[in-house]
A = this chain, B = another copy of it.
Amino acid sequence: MNPVVDFSIPEPTYQRLANVHRYWLATNYLGAAQLYLRDNFLLERPLKSTDIKPRLLGHWGTQPGLNLLYAHLNRLIQDTDASILLVTGPGHGAPAILANLYLEGTLGEYDPTYQVGLNGMSQLIRQFSWPYGLPSHLVPGTPGQIQEGGELGYCLSHAFGAALDNPDLIVACVVGDGEAETGPLAASWHSNKYLNPATSGAVLPILHANGYKLSGPTIYGRMSHEELTNLFTGYGYQVRIIGGSDPMQVHAAMWQAMNWAYGEIRTIQQNARAGLLMGVPAWPMLILQTPKGWTCPLTVDGQPIENTSHAHQLPVADPAGKPSQLATLESWLRSYRPQDLFDGMGQPFSSVTSNCPMGSRRIGMNAHANGGQLLVPLELPNYFDYAVKVPSPGTVSVEGTHQLAIYLRDVFCLNESAQNFRIVCPDETTSNRMTPLFQATQRAWMGPMVETDEFLSPDGQVMEILSEHTCEGWLEGYLLTGRHGLFGCYEAFIPLVDSMLNQYAKWLKVSKETSWRKPLASLNYLLTSHVWRQDHNGYTHQVPSFINSVVAKKSSVARVYLPPDANCLLAVTDHCLRSRDYINLIVASKACQAQWLSIDAARDHCSRGLSVWDWAGNAGDQQPDVVLACAGDVPTNETIAAAAILKERLPDLRVRVLNIVDLLTIMSPEDHPHGFPEAAFSQLFTTDRPVIFAFHGYPMLIHELLHHRTNPNRFHVRGYMEEGRTTTPFDMLVLNNMSRYQLVMAALQHTNNLPGTQALVQWCQDKLTQHAAYIRREGLDMPEVRS
């Protein structure tokens, strides 16, 4: 590494340090006041129990540390004009962040209720944790935020996602020492191996080790300096520990540490952008060790509070009910000397805010935090150009994901200059037959390389780490800051991010209710290597439950697509990449499969979401005796085979085949905006005929989706019943009662006993018997059922 470049950051002066301290006192005061006060906001008179809110809801413990970091980041921005996005892991420290946003004026610019002044300050304090006021956590309505942090573990991967392809941005990321214990967070430190300082911004991780989580000590709070240094040096960072309980000493050390970190970041970037960087740069990181709840009462009613877990929520638990606690609270609040910080009109004295940046450089104004306003739509190629030629249904077979990858390759090409599209994947891109991507880009990789390496480059836009959590976190951070992406994953292991999906869906819902949040590119999942084709792996790799997880989300955000062939996969993906503010789930096999629709037919089918495939049935315009419905590529293949058997062997039975590509069309329109109106639904499914429904996932889900439809008991759903092992593809269908023979038997069971029915049932049973013997003997499916 070259010597540190002089970026001409001023040395701290006593006056500026003192003003940073005053700012810190002001934010601490405002943060504590938010927890407690419904009146007497400036303590202009003695505190009375009626000044206390009736319900005390909120957290103190992390606030002084957050305030300290915010103050010093402000000062750094003032001195460097850096663009800094703050990602706050401890989102329940909201009163701290709100206090800073209030003081810098951004809160009041987003909502005039909170303009700086006596009224705004009163509102800030009173509305915190008040019904329909300011929520107790950071939320989409909070300026400058890209995550709430309610569920812990994702701040650092969000931060790295935000920094990718934003070369001028520094993302300061505060990691609580509780959050640091989580798995997703522990994995995400390795994100440094994927971020190219030449083309991306920087992340400054700050481990906020105040020693306690909710009720016990933290691991990171009790590790020695040597252990901490070893650990994070091993992760590849340069570590600086700043700690203590004397505020002025900590301020001085933090000032220097911020300068140091900033200098290191700029040096790394300068070297990288000059082509001088080799390998993973040793980015700076800070560890802030200050007491939990710093500056709150040391004890309350004899119990230790400051620097214990009892400072996590409310240091003073019942000031309205206990006079001694009221006095303790008053002296705590007065310890910040609010009269020295604010004038009688609630305006902070100028010395308090003298180190704050102005205008768009204020942290609450960072444009990247409202990514939708920076969103540049993707240039998309015409997907018709990537169509598979299908002269007639079932005559050609291709690997759908391979075909899609050629299209996606060109998405990378067309948007190369914008650098606003990434694919994340837990090391499965080649397994998923998507190697054509690597004609346009590579896998991101900053680490050492060897001669035999394939498709690795610091500039790669495909991000592969064997951590679904990190993939999801990166992508979320990337989308939240106004870019586009796709998560390619084995279907079985995407439930690892079920809980991240929960949280992202919540963020999205509330964002859509927040007027100033602009729409984001959708969160797109492509699940392949799915439940029906786990030949190599067996039972653990058979989990179609993510469909259920997405369906459980608000209907305003949840979309599920089960394209039956490659042309439909192209049409659906094109649609998803153009959409905004959705969670789009696409499930498609990577296996070589029969193709059904021309690209024109695929476009029409996908835009309807659900249609009759006349060529597959024999009912024509007549009322069918039975409807064979299917959703998913493998179920579609079996359904078409079942229909063919029925047409050939029981031609008097009128069969209608229906394919569902947009799963939620089967819901009632009251339940989902894509739901078919009842009349249209009845025309397709009839109102009284049996429907044999072959579904990609768990059968119960279909019952759930159909529960408002007419006569729901006539739907007989087949799907994955948690029966599986290492066996042949067709045997998987047999095990789960969804093979063509079993579908035929189901259709016959629920229709009138036409002549020939008995014989056909026997024929199917014979086929199943032959199959069982054949696979045990030959280790392969019978030729007639091979896919």
Contacts and interface: CB of A to CB of B under 8 A. Distances in A.
Contact of A703 (B150, B465, B704): B704
A92 B496 CA distance: 19
A457 to B, nearest CB: 12
A29 B232 CA distance: 41
Contact of A722 (B91, B216, B554): B554
A589 interface: no
A109 B348 CA distance: 80
Nearest to A132: B776
A698 B701 CA distance: 13
Interface in A541-570: 541, 543, 545, 548-549, 552-554
B509 A151 contact: no
Contact of A536 (B58, B236, B447, B707): B58
Interface in A25-81: 38, 53-55, 57-59
Interface in A139-194: 139, 148-153, 178-179, 181-188, 190, 193
Contact of A496 (B499, B704, B726): B499
Contact of A727 (B131, B185, B217): B131
Given A131-B727, A726-B57, A427 B213 contact: yes
A113 interface: no
Contacts of A178: 427, 466
Given A57-B726, A215-B427, A538 B137 contact: yes
A448 interface: yes
A775 B182 CA distance: 36
A726 B132 CA distance: 8
A184 B183 contact: yes
Tell which of A216, A308, A540 has the most Cβ of chain B within 10 Å.
A540
Nearest to A462: B216
Given A135-B538, A722-B553, A780-B55, A495 B506 contact: no
Contact of A181 (B190, B223, B505): B190
A64 B340 CA distance: 71
A537 interface: yes
A183 B181 contact: no
A502 B506 contact: no
A276 interface: no
A155 to B, nearest CB: 13
Interface string A755-787: 000000000000000000001101110000000
Contacts of A467: 181-183
A304 interface: yes
A528 to B, nearest CB: 14
Contact of A183 (B92, B139, B183, B780): B183
A522 interface: no
Contacts of A215: 427-431, 464
Interface string A494-519: 01101100110110011000000000
Contact of A219 (B429, B465, B554, B776): B465
A628 B461 CA distance: 56
Tell which of A151, A152, A218, A229 has the most Cβ of chain B within 10 Å.
A151
Contacts of A16: none
A151 B722 contact: no
Given A135-B725, A502-B495, A182 B466 contact: yes
Contact of A182 (B38, B187, B193): B187
A469 interface: yes
B499 A700 contact: no
A233 interface: yes
B148 A540 contact: yes
A406 interface: no
A578 interface: no
Nearest to A313: B536
Contacts of A132: 725, 727, 775-776
A445 interface: yes
A187 B231 CA distance: 13
A739 interface: no
A722 B509 contact: yes
Contact of A190 (B219, B464, B704): B219
A692 to B, nearest CB: 16
A416 B230 CA distance: 38
A205 to B, nearest CB: 15
A206 to B, nearest CB: 18
A644 B713 CA distance: 35
Given A136-B726, A227-B234, A428-B215, A779 B545 contact: no
Contact of A231 (B217, B235, B465, B726): B235
Contacts of A53: 779
A129 interface: yes
A452 interface: yes
B131 A775 contact: yes
Contacts of A307: 452
Nearest to A299: B452
Nearest to A435: B215
Nearest to A494: B499
Interface string A215-246: 11111001100011111111110000000000
Contact of A540 (B150, B193, B228): B150
A54 B131 contact: no
Interface of A: 38, 53-55, 57-59, 91-92, 129-132, 135-137, 139, 148-153, 178-179, 181-188, 190, 193, 213-219, 222-223, 227-236, 304, 307-309, 313, 427-431, 443, 445, 447-450, 452-456, 464-470, 492-493, 495-496, 498-499, 502-503, 505-506, 509-510, 535-541, 543, 545, 548-549, 552-554, 698, 700-701, 703-704, 707-708, 712-713, 722, 725-728, 731, 775-776, 778-780
For the complex of A and B, the 8 pairs showing the least CB-CB separation, nearest first, are A150-B540, A231-B234, A183-B183, A230-B234, A186-B186, A183-B187, A704-B704, A495-B499
30 contacts: A131-B728, A131-B775, A136-B726, A137-B537, A150-B537, A150-B538, A178-B427, A179-B466, A182-B187, A183-B186, A215-B428, A216-B443, A216-B454, A217-B447, A217-B450, A227-B233, A229-B234, A230-B231, A231-B235, A304-B452, A493-B499, A495-B498, A499-B543, A502-B545, A506-B540, A510-B539, A703-B703, A703-B707, A704-B707, A712-B713
